[in-house]
Amino acid sequence: MRERAALPDWTGRRVLVVGDLILDHFVRGSVRRISPEAPVPVVEVEDEHLALGGAANVANNIKALGGTPLLVGVVGRDRAGEDFRQLLRFAGLETSGLLEAAGRRTSLKTRVIAHHQQVVRVDREVRDPVGASTAAALRRLLAERAAACDAVVASDYAKGLFSPGLLRHLGATCADAGVPYVVDPKPVHFPYPGATVVTPNRGEAAGLYGRAFSTGEAEAVGRALLQRTDWRAVLFTLGDEGMFLCPRRGKAVRIAAQVREVFDVTGAGDTVVAALALGLAAGASLERSSRIANAAAGVVVGKVGTAVCTPRELARALRAGG
Ligand SMILES: Nc1ncnc2c1ncn2[C@@H]1O[C@H](COP(=O)(O)OP(=O)(O)OP(=O)(O)O)[C@@H](O)[C@H]1O
Ligand SMILES: [Mg+2]
């Protein structure tokens, strides 16, 4: 029991996180009346703030867990891009992996929330592939940095950063360097060659497989996906049903969700890949790393907003649930 509860020592382990970067903008206020202009509520703004989203939230989670993230991604040469860079600095995250693409806008998602309810979300983004010179710079950066890390995460939000070519390059780079490579996928970029483990949620898994499936079918679906790919394992994240780990070699395992009270499930998937990558970076097995990731996700869904988990909270959750 004690051994199961012990956290691998991943302090300072370097994890390269490459993916689509998003700036989250939260606008909070209250509603007292309906607009005279249209049948919509008038939100009187009381507070607004910016937060790191997309792959940057994975980096944030790695930092909170005690690892050393290196974030690689693309922002535009715009106000949101400047805000993004400044937020990284405030969070104590490395900014040297940020590439700026002129003529591209930084993904910005504004959520208007009144009385704890989202009223509307306003997205400003381009999802076109990044330009050729940015793509070439990305490849150079990844080739240079991936081998110097203890694990790599691809955090795909399908906003134009990843292309089949870049994913081939990344998979081959990680395989050559013998670095564990964790992918949070989107079906459009199947098959993510060279991945150590791919972590689709229910919707993504249905997209990868071709149709929705029940939890009882997870093992058969996992085997089918492994047959179509060179992945070492697939880890389905099943929301309140926890996880299902299907390794190429060895038995599949169901991991029950571990949470006392659910407050906000936003960002749980980011916490999963962060903890999973750190576990693998520290040499823990896939199953052990998955169990740790499940416990870390349980901690963040018990918090309000896009949250992170500290090593202390994680150790406590592991002691409580093994
Ligand atoms: N309602 C819940 N109750 C308990 N645990 C949960 C719940 N929702 C999520 N989790 C935990 O978080 C993990 C990831 O959640 P989920 O499968 O919803 O990923 P996701 O859809 O990628 O999340 P997101 O995209 O919002 O970050 C689950 O495997 C589980 O461990
Ligand atoms: Mg997700």
Cβ proximity of 235 and 205 under 8 Å = no
Q: Is 119 among the domain residues?
A: no
Active site positions, annotated: 270
Q: Is 113 among the domain residues?
A: no
Q: Is 279 among the domain residues?
A: yes
pTM: 0.96
Q: Is 228 among the domain residues?
A: yes
Q: Is 217 among the domain residues?
A: yes
Q: Is 213 among the domain residues?
A: yes
For residues 109 and 121, give the distance between their C-alpha atoms in angstroms, rounded to a whole number.
7
Tens place of pLDDT per residue across the chain (322 aa): 444 557 899 999 999 999 999 999 999 999 999 999 999 999 999 999 999 999 999 999 999 999 999 999 999 999 999 999 999 999 999 999 999 999 999 999 999 999 989 999 999 999 999 999 999 999 999 999 999 999 999 999 999 999 999 999 999 999 999 999 999 999 999 999 999 999 999 999 999 999 999 999 999 999 999 999 999 999 999 999 999 999 999 999 999 998 778 988 889 999 999 999 999 999 999 999 999 999 999 999 999 877 899 999 999 999 988 5
Q: Is the minimum distance from the CB of 53 to ligand 1 under 6 angstroms? A: no
Q: Which atom of ligand 1 approaches the CA of 271 most closely?
A: 27
For ligand 1, mutation pick of 20, 237, 309 (most atoms within 8 Å of CB): 237
Q: Is the minimum distance from the CB of 242 to ligand 1 under 6 angstroms? A: yes
Q: How far is CA 78 from CA 102, 109, 128, 161, in A?
A: 8, 15, 17, 17
Q: Is 171 among the domain residues?
A: yes
Q: Is 37 among the domain residues?
A: no
Which residue puts its alpha carbon closest to atom 10 of ligand 1? 239
For residues 71 and 208, give the distance between their C-alpha atoms in angstroms, rounded to a whole number.
26
* Tokens matching residue 310: 């500290």
Residue 156 Cα to ligand 2 midpoint, Å, equals 9
3-state secondary structure of 40: coil
| CATH number of 311's domain | 3.40.1190.20
Q: What are phi and psi of 285, to 5 degrees?
A: -70, 165
Domain of 156 in residue numbering reads as: 2-23+53-98+129-321
Q: Is the minimum distance from the CB of 262 to ligand 1 under 6 angstroms? A: yes
Number of domains comprising the chain: 1
CA 254 to chain centre: 21
